[in-house]
Structure 1
Amino acid sequence: MKKIILVSFLMLLAATGCDKNDTKKLEENKNQTPLEKLVSGNQRFLEEKTIHPHQNKKSVLENQNVQHPFAIVVTCSDSRVSPEILFDQGIGDLFVIRNAGNLISDIDMGSIEYAVEHLDVKVIVILGHTECGAIKAYIGDKNNDYKKHLNHIDDIVETIAEEKEEQEAEKQTPKQDNVLGCINANIEHSNRLVQENLIVKEHKTKIISMRYDVHTGKIIQL
């Protein structure tokens, strides 16, 4: 009977992807800086050694009345870019703001201010990614002569086109030949907008630019 129980337990561990070192990794995760948590989490994701921290009912109950995220992540709505998965984090860990092209509107800025001022988050990550549809739409806009969608998609393209960083990148290399440069310029534009926010300045919140590669799963710091 004991052998049957042991075998069943081992089968359960294998099925859930649990590892004997997961407890140790969870403890290490607690003691890391916010940036270290993000970097090591993505490394676990790349190596297929994710520990899925705080992804259980216990975490729901622990966060039901209050939240203490350790990082704000401003990123794209793209279905391939899910911060909690890519950084191997869970419930209550990340305050995530998503829209097409990881742009910063007044509403997004208000969300950032809330997390900084009321949740005391010390790190903001601007996470762009390769193969971004919003940037591709902007690049396809040759001399502002793209086909008008007659809807809000145009607002996205026009907002990107007005970014100073994009205009500077265009002076160096035609955007059609500089997809990655355009992606980076867009990330840096959002970074600059957040840096200029008075509440972010007052709280001395750290701002980090990152880019996710949809081909490899790797996230790098710019």
Structure 2
Amino acid sequence: MARQRSDSPLLFDLPVRPDFRMERAAMREGVWPVCGTDEAGRGPLAGPVVAAAVILDPKRIPKGLDDSKRMSHAEREAVFDEILDKASAVSIASACAHSIDRSDIRKASLEAMCRAVKLLCIEPKLVLADGRDIPPGLTCDGKAVVKGDQRSQSIAAASIIAKVTRDRMMTRTASIHVSYGFDLHMGYATARHRTAIEAHGPLTRLHRLSFAPFRLDAAE
């Protein structure tokens, strides 16, 4: 069973960009490999939540790693390819809208992160997980890192892989369900998306029916 640890930084402890200090500290203690894991898509009304796990090669760390939310689309796409080229191991897992509705978004996100870690071709000895929770079910030690995508390069790499993968999935979905404009808002609750829902209704197994406004509408 994974031993759970948490790490809550002070505001001024955050580096300008994520670095490799946590990973190198683990290496000095004989703990390696270390993987970072993060997810993308907790907030949207539609689409999956996508998680990624990444083990970086300490000798070939990709340039430009950062919190994916602070990067442009073009920057994420470029670094995505570099991560795939240079990382020791990368894996991706997702939970669909139906799975999210059956539990809740927090549980679905953590489950996807755990599955991503287990799908790695190299078994990690320590998992650095973005946020305040450690994914349950890990077979190694885990450490929750608040704002981890701004602190750890391994977590930042996972955040980029998850974000780019999810955006590509939603863009592909847009070509099938053309009335919803998923390539423009990626399933988030923009005015355009809400207008499309009002006009065409929610899509089964794609919209998260446990989220507002669907849940609120059902209660009326």
Q: Structures share a fold, TM > 0.5?
A: no
TM-score normalised to the size of structure 2? 0.25
Using CA pairs below 8 Å that are at least 6 residues apart, which structure has the higher relative contact order? 2
TM-score normalised to the size of structure 1? 0.25
